[in-house]
Amino acid sequence: MLQFLSVSCPASAPILTLGQLLRIFVDSFTVQFLNLHLTMALAGLQILGIVLSLLGWVNALVSCALPLWKVTAFIGNSIVVAQVVWEGPWMSCVVQSTGQMQCKVFDSLLALPQDLQAARALSVITLLVALLGFLIYLAGAKCTTCVMDKDSKARLVLTSGIIFVISGILTLIPVCWTANTIIRDFYNPLVAEAQKWELGASLYVGWAASGLLLLGGGLLCCTCPSWGSRSSRHYMARYSASAPHTTSRGPSEYPTKNYV
């Protein structure tokens, strides 16, 4: 009497070849190596960006405080060279040839020209906005623990970079406005020679401050670490795509054998 038994073979476990294992190892090592170098590069850019922004803030403070926005122009034959007149947003100074200097603070804000009024307002706003950006950067810096989430830190650093860029633009407006007024009056034949001015040192300091703030803010905006996470996800997607896909096979898919 023949007895037929139906026996199903168990599903075999997937086996990776040596080449596939070596490829996965090399790819994972490459991702870790790239992430390490990207993190170091982003940290260096952050430090460089905040240093440039701080230098720009200091230059903006110096430009705002010094009364060297307008300097007496030595033109013509009747000009008195025994004294030099400086004028800024807050005061005017007279420097004698003997080295003595006398300064007087402006008594009335409304009596000032429009360019100096705008210089006062925008210079103060620039300093406060840049200081706010520095405080936001401290909250999102890698060396602080005010915020623990990495994505939140990245958003704070990006926000501080945008604020520094805005501060650079605000610094550029009054400086260029005052320089335009000085140059226009200098070449205007209807303006008396005694009332013409030269570009002062504070204007050049203001231009340098604007450039440093724009450059530092741009570097901080470029240090968003989401790039590293994107590259990691891209490589991980490649690994998952290159890995062999195995599917379990049911007992009915295997051939049955009859045994006596």
Confidence of residue 16 (pLDDT cuts 50, 70, 90): low
DSSP, collapsed to helix, strand or coil, labels residue 194 as: helix
Residue 157: closest CA among 173, 144, 172, 176: 144
**pLDDT at residue 258 greater than cutoff 60:** no
Burial readout 111-150 (b: 16 or more C-beta within 10 A, e: otherwise): ebeebbebbbebbeebbebbeebbebbebbbeeeeeeeee
**pLDDT at residue 152 greater than cutoff 80:** yes
Residue type (1 letter), 97: S
DSSP, collapsed to helix, strand or coil, labels residue 101 as: strand
Domain boundaries, the chain: 55-68+109-194+201-223
- In angstroms, rounded to a whole number, what is the distance separating the alpha carbons of residues 233 and 243? 15
Confidence of residue 159 (pLDDT cuts 50, 70, 90): very high
**pLDDT at residue 67 greater than cutoff 80:** yes
Cα 46 versus chain centre, distance:
8
The whole-number pLDDT of residue 32 equals: 62
Confidence of residue 30 (pLDDT cuts 50, 70, 90): low
The whole-number pLDDT of residue 181 equals: 92
The percent of residues above 70 in pLDDT, for the chain, comes to: 67
pLDDT tens string 189-225: 888 877 888 999 999 999 999 999 999 999 988 876 5
Average pLDDT over residues 26-33: 60
> 55-68+109-194+201-223: what fold?
Butyryl-CoA Dehydrogenase, subunit A; domain 3 (1.20.140)
**pLDDT at residue 52 greater than cutoff 90:** yes
Confidence of residue 180 (pLDDT cuts 50, 70, 90): very high
> Is 176 or 109 the better-scoring residue by pLDDT?
176
Average pLDDT over residues 119-127: 93
> Is 119 or 21 the better-scoring residue by pLDDT?
119
Confidence of residue 164 (pLDDT cuts 50, 70, 90): very high
